[in-house]
Structure 1
Amino acid sequence: MLPSKIKPFLYLGIFYLIISLIIRIVFLFHPITTASFGFFEVIKVLSIGLLNDIFVFTIASTLLAVYFLFLSNSKYKKPYGYIIFGALILFFLYILVIPNNIFNQYGGSVSEIALAFVGIKALFFGLMLFLPSKRIKIRNVLYFITLLLYVLLIIFNAVSEYFFYNEFGVRYNFIAVDYLIYTNEVIGNIMESYPVVPLFSAILIVTLAITWFIYKKTKDELLELPNFKQKMVLLGTFIVMVSLSILGVSSLMQIRSDNVFADEIENNGLPKFYWAFTHNELDYFQFYPQINQQEAEKNFLSQYSEPALQRNIIPEQPELKKNVVLISIESLSADFMEHYGGTLKITPFLDSLADRSMMFTNLYATGNRTVRGLEALTLCIPPTAGESIIKRDDNKNKFTTGSVFKSKGYNVKFLYGGYSYFDNMQDFFAGNGYDIVDRNNFKPEEITFANVWGVADEDMAKKAIQTMNAEAKSGKPFFNHWMTVSNHRPFTYPDGRIDIPGTAKSRDGGVKYTDYSLRMFFEMAKKQDWYKNTVFVIIADHCASSAGKTELPMDKYRIPAMIFSEGFIEPQKFDKLMSQIDVMPTLFGLLNFNYQSKFLGQDVFKKEFQPKAYIATYQDLGLVKDDHLTIISPVKKVKQYSLQLEPSSLAPEFKLHYDEKLIRNPEQKLVNDAISAYQSTSFWLKEKKLNR
């Protein structure tokens, strides 16, 4: 009986192999495939492709195997059936009634999805428990739905791979990962670019037809279910097959030839998607416009007083060994603050601090994720295609702000209220010489409130003071980089601190609570002996949102930043355009640090400083310079917008909004400047020239 249970796998597998073969043949004859193939090369491509597809389907059929593994009639017998049904009902009520359940901590729609899943599971289990005569029919319905999802995913993936290849000439890569992240933009692009209704109608019709065919051929397998021993045999066999398939896919992905198209066509898109998701890189030199490498480096390095990658920074004044506290604030858009035109009055402390600080009024984040902001403040380089360097494998032994401080005898730490393994922060900072203080360092009595992202910012503020006091006693200066967490969905925090309750789960509340926590931190810091010899850098990691009318809307990258130090930094405003990567080189200039620099950001107070900003998503790389925004994108696309400052009736005068107008004939010099910056940075990272 057991061999007959593999019929659903065989039918689905054969269908998948046929679809994959069709796609592979289409790719071979696609106009974008400019390479030529001999007879034996075609046979090789199709043979390796077939092996890839067999291995991938074996891995992908894991969920179907689990589905069959849990098919049973015995679980509905007394008392087990009633116990399981009762547990499902209690779990459903827990999610429905308890406001602070585990799923709500994640914010978004996680709780609703969990509620729906548990509710459906409880409903069908109850029907099969109390209506045993209908059990076969109900099980058939669920089996049909399972097959339908498999068939739909097979067809949908094939269609997606076709359109992706049609645009980029490759299987899935990090751009596909990017598409999952920017769902709204991608759906909008699809709706405008393709005949969606006919396409989706055809997909649905074919899916239903194929599903019905496989269902009719295999539904009798549900009449007699395997016993426990047979299930164990099935499970053991499947574990061996999946293990061999994982090794097989990994080995086949290592096969490379001189024909890039052959490599892409014989591959399978799903493993490539997984690889892109875990490796977080997008090859600049394969997808972006290029110029001669020497010309690119010469052009990019011409902005520095010493046109070389490694430069000697020699100040005219003696070095100042002041403590430095860098506070990067989660998701703080510039226009949350009154000093940048905000009207909500949710940052009273930061606005009061800005009056006493060196305030940067025209500064732009490099990206729209925390890891991108941490990268900009730590490595001081333009963003590169794909994921932040923090999340890549080759993220250690870089030239960082921490390494400069360490060379001056500083204690260097990264402070984070959550678990720093998140977003690979622990691996990155520890791998670059930082000591780490995170949630693991908190005693239970030190935590007054916490959510999924970590302890409340006020608890981290107290821990920061405790850490800095200990460092001050060592006799060495310290550099502490603190990343806040409370201004992040679900925006929960202790009640009674501000006039917006934590249960409101509002972004305004998250911003105002972080502002409250920073006030508490500075009030505590002012009482410490080390305070007067400390420079505080306060800056956002990125804005609260990034969606706009264009690929890179300028106002969605503008962030607040200030440098504060009583008796040392005079209150002033710096209004020139600058990048997040310029902040720390500017600080080192204020401290008169003498060092060899590989930073690609600039000290904004040096005469050679060129006002500019780098802003990017995972794939669109932008340079803001000379009232233009130049964007380079995959498939060697170039766009350029003229930037015209829109007049604003809102006070103060620093409310900046740009009207981005597309230019038909881009200025080539600015295009070359953008290519030079991103091509040079990508090359130096690839060649490890930005390492210590």
Structure 2
Amino acid sequence: MIKLLVSKSRYALLRVFNLWFLLFSFLLRLVFFIWHFDEVSLKISDVLLTFCLGFVFDTGVCFMISLPFVIYLSIFPNKWIGSLFDKIIIYFFSTLTLFTLVFTFLAEITFWEEFKNRFNFIAVDYLIYTYEVISNIKESYNLTLLIGIVLFITLLLLFLFHKKKAYSNTFAQKITVKTRLLVFFTFSFIVLFYIKFIPNTLAERMGNRYNDEISKAGIYSFFAAFRNNQMKYQKFYTTIDNDKAFAIIKHKLEEPNSKFNSKKYPIHRKVNDNGQINTKGKNVVFILVESLSASFLNKYGNQENITPFLDSLTTKSFFFDNLYATGTRTVRGMEAVTLCIPPTPGQSIVKRPENHNLFTISNVFKSKKYKTNFFYGGDGYFDNMNSFFGGNGFDIYDRGRGSILNDEIKTNRYNIEDNEVTFENAWGICDENLFDKMITVADKYHNENKLFFNFVMTTSNHRPYTYPEGKIDILSGTGRSGAVKYTDYALQQLFRKAKQKEWYKNTIFVIIADHCASSAGKNEIDIANYHIPAFIVNASEIENQIITKQCSQIDLFPTLFGIMNWSYESDFFGKNVLSNSFEERALLGTYRKLTLMKQDKAMILSDQKKQTFNKWDKESNNLTQLPMDNAFLEETIAWYQTADYLFTNKLLN
């Protein structure tokens, strides 16, 4: 190994390359630390741990990136060192690697800006959907300038490497067999050691999420997420006996008007109407709004006046004042509202295999003779939406660009044609165009005397935040506030146009966010960033009201079915919030953290079979750890363990 540490050796380039990578990684970590200086923990021990752990992860990345080069150096014959072939291979791959890593450093900055995280499972997902991601990058950033900066830094580094004679020494020095074997086995052993014994979760020990994330290395985090995109609950989380877990959940789901009619474990039951005003025979238009945080509304202190229409609905609807999203991704919101189930660890059920023919809200609507339709302004291939909705009874309307449904899915798919589109960006057509398409389909079913349930997923409130010019007083593409205001404007136009239709008076509109615009903060679960608005509009026989009970996305449709006075079969974990038997609680999480919140108490389950019990201060959005409450812990485990068990064992059908 001494040869590796000497600049005048065959390993000179490897040495300089690793020193450069460690320096840049440190500087990037320092940038993130200064960026959130007011939110990171400044305790000396936490600061030291942040940067020391960071060095550990960066060193691991160095060894992993370097291993292919070490293998090349180990097997390349001495007699050909410095040959044209040797120079071409080393120059080409070192330049390509430098360019890729510099680009990755810049990509980490943009990813952090959006998600306040190192690369995680979201970055893994983005690898699959290259069209949307590349288009989003093109529309969000000056790609020519970005590539120019990356190229300039790469060329500058190559120049410095030459000044340090890294290349000339690499092409001039021979290496002994002993040195080759020593270096190869050392690097291989260290890489295997990191893979086996240094988990990405090693960073999560400071009690401040920003310190934890900053201490990680983006590339290391990316591959850790890639390996753990699906997580088995029984393996990673604290469990209790299944009989006990289901007994707890059945008790929580009990209602005077429901009766369990299943075998031992499933929660299948018959929910009978509860005597409210009869609204049978009403169409339902459901709108899942991209990234609509409650904090955007004037009611919650926002002074930008970017949601005037939604603000007006807070007193003209059933308005859910204290409702929380289950997750941080669109697919989590879809999972919550369609399956009415707590978030299970790892990937959303929307993206998992074997997620067809589940018991969803579509089953309830179809039992009442409704046509169920799913509308998305982009390509429904993204995030597996077409497969999930098509495989669970919905007809699909999307901007398909040629994607098709699996042959085994017995459903219809319709393309949104070019002549129906006036504006489109990376994620899909603008919300106005999407709503117009939905209205056209609603007209069709109304003329055929058919009831319809139309599920609409919006896209305009998403980076690059572009929308048709001249609609609102904020320029397109200038930021989130404009996108929120355009989304609000498009919803207002939807209602203006719908009110001109015969079917409007017989249609209930339901509006809810899929998740907040940002979910990251200094806490392991940043509860304030799960608070979302929800509205049930035009249930005209019912007096409008503000619902202040703490509840979850999974409760939205059971509440709607209660308002509609329906009797129906249910496999749902959600309940009717308006029922006197409803017990206030919210279920929320990330792909690794699972939380049960009751009022200001929050139990957080983590992988590695860990858990913390906390008090949430709403004003400061801080979590303070409390002594463990075993009854609260068992209930938390029961919600998530049973949900995972039912899906894993195919009992949600």
* Fold equivalence (TM over 0.5): yes
More displaced 10-residue stretch of structure 1: 111-120 or 535-544: 111-120
Kept in 2: contact 1:625–1:670 (CA 8 A): no
Q: Does 1:406 align with 2:348?
A: no
Once the two structures are TM-superposed, the CA of residue 325 in structure 1 deviates from its matched residue by: 0.7
Kept in 1: contact 2:314–2:546 (CA 8 A): no
What are the superposed Cα offsets for residues 31-70 of structure 1, whole Å, 9 maximum, x if unpaired?
Answer: xxxxxxxxxxxxxxxxxxxxxxxxxx899999xxxx9899
Once the two structures are TM-superposed, the CA of residue 121 in structure 1 deviates from its matched residue by: 7.8
Equivalent in 208, 211, 230 of residue 188 of structure 1: 211
Once the two structures are TM-superposed, the CA of residue 353 in structure 1 deviates from its matched residue by: 2.0
Q: Does 1:462 align with 2:436?
A: yes
Q: Does 1:603 align with 2:589?
A: no
**Match for residue 637 of structure 2?**
675
Q: Residues 166 and 352 (structure 1 numbering): CA distance in 2 closer, same or farther, change over 3 Å?
A: closer
More displaced 10-residue stretch of structure 1: 566-575 or 423-432: 566-575
Tell me which protein shows more helix as a share of its residues: 1
| Residues 137-536 of structure 1 aligned to structure 2 (within 5 Å) | 158-159=193-194, 161-164=196-199, 188-189=211-212, 274=226, 276=228, 280-303=229-252, 304-305=254-255, 306=258, 308=260, 309-317=267-275, 320-440=280-400, 441-504=415-478, 506-536=479-509
Once the two structures are TM-superposed, the CA of residue 453 in structure 1 deviates from its matched residue by: 0.5
The 3-state SS of whatever aligns with 2:198 is: helix
Find the aligned partners of 1:330 and 1:112 in 2 and give their Cα distance: 29
Kept in 2: contact 1:491–1:507 (CA 8 A): yes
Once the two structures are TM-superposed, the CA of residue 529 in structure 1 deviates from its matched residue by: 0.8
Q: Residues 439 and 639 (structure 1 numbering): CA distance in 2 closer, same or farther, change over 3 Å?
A: same
Once the two structures are TM-superposed, the CA of residue 114 in structure 1 deviates from its matched residue by: 3.4
Kept in 1: contact 2:210–2:522 (CA 8 A): no
**Match for residue 177 of structure 2?**
none
Give the count of matched residue pairs.
504
Larger Cα Rg: Structure 1 or Structure 2?
1
Kept in 1: contact 2:259–2:271 (CA 8 A): no
Find the aligned partners of 2:559 and 2:259 in 1 and give their Cα distance: 18
Which letter maps to 2:485?
K
Which letter maps to 1:291?
I
Unaligned stretches of 5+ residues in structure 1: 1-7, 13-56, 76-100, 128-133, 168-175, 201-268, 647-656
Find the aligned partners of 2:383 and 2:393 in 1 and give their Cα distance: 18
Which letter maps to 1:527?
Q
The 3-state SS of whatever aligns with 1:519 is: helix
**Match for residue 638 of structure 1?**
611
Kept in 1: contact 2:136–2:427 (CA 8 A): no
| Residues 73-84 of structure 1 aligned to structure 2 (within 5 Å) | none
Kept in 2: contact 1:103–1:111 (CA 8 A): no
Over the residues paired in the alignment, what is the CA RMSD in angstroms?
A: 4.3
**Match for residue 248 of structure 1?**
none
**Match for residue 652 of structure 2?**
690
What are the superposed Cα offsets for residues 614-653 of structure 1, whole Å, 9 maximum, x if unpaired?
Answer: 010111100011531011111111101123453xxxxxxx
Which letter maps to 1:114?
I
| Residues 44-59 of structure 1 aligned to structure 2 (within 5 Å) | none
Unaligned stretches of 5+ residues in structure 2: 1-9, 15-66, 73-83, 93-133, 173-182, 261-266, 401-414
Kept in 1: contact 2:271–2:570 (CA 8 A): yes
Q: Residues 690 and 102 (structure 1 numbering): CA distance in 2 closer, same or farther, change over 3 Å?
A: closer
Find the aligned partners of 2:617 and 2:383 in 1 and give their Cα distance: 37
Find the aligned partners of 2:522 and 2:157 in 1 and give their Cα distance: 45
What are the superposed Cα offsets for residues 164-193 of structure 1, whole Å, 9 maximum, x if unpaired?
Answer: 1995xxxxxxxx9xx9xxxx987722767x
Find the aligned partners of 1:414 and 1:570 in 2 and give their Cα distance: 29
Kept in 2: contact 1:298–1:307 (CA 8 A): no
Equivalent in 107, 112, 119 of residue 140 of structure 2: 107
Find the aligned partners of 1:294 and 1:143 in 2 and give their Cα distance: 68
Find the aligned partners of 1:68 and 1:446 in 2 and give their Cα distance: 56
| Residues 539-618 of structure 1 aligned to structure 2 (within 5 Å) | 539-565=512-538, 567-618=540-591
TM-score (ref. length: structure 1): 0.65
Which letter maps to 1:603?
N
Which letter maps to 1:313?
V
The 3-state SS of whatever aligns with 1:609 is: coil
Which letter maps to 2:240?
I
Kept in 1: contact 2:324–2:530 (CA 8 A): yes
Kept in 2: contact 1:331–1:542 (CA 8 A): yes
Which letter maps to 1:478?
F
Q: Residues 153 and 530 (structure 1 numbering): CA distance in 2 closer, same or farther, change over 3 Å?
A: farther
Find the aligned partners of 1:491 and 1:166 in 2 and give their Cα distance: 33
Find the aligned partners of 1:158 and 1:284 in 2 and give their Cα distance: 26
Q: Residues 577 and 124 (structure 1 numbering): CA distance in 2 closer, same or farther, change over 3 Å?
A: closer
The 3-state SS of whatever aligns with 2:454 is: strand
Find the aligned partners of 1:560 and 1:163 in 2 and give their Cα distance: 41
Once the two structures are TM-superposed, the CA of residue 71 in structure 1 deviates from its matched residue by: 4.8
Find the aligned partners of 2:144 and 2:333 in 1 and give their Cα distance: 29
Percent identity, aligned pairs only, is: 40
Find the aligned partners of 1:143 and 1:190 in 2 and give their Cα distance: 40
Once the two structures are TM-superposed, the CA of residue 607 in structure 1 deviates from its matched residue by: 2.1
The 3-state SS of whatever aligns with 1:584 is: helix
**Match for residue 204 of structure 1?**
none
The 3-state SS of whatever aligns with 1:610 is: coil
Q: Residues 478 and 628 (structure 1 numbering): CA distance in 2 closer, same or farther, change over 3 Å?
A: same
Q: Does 1:621 align with 2:594?
A: yes
What are the superposed Cα offsets for residues 296-316 of structure 1, whole Å, 9 maximum, x if unpaired?
Answer: 100111022247401111115
Find the aligned partners of 2:361 and 2:214 in 1 and give their Cα distance: 45
Find the aligned partners of 1:607 and 1:273 in 2 and give their Cα distance: 42
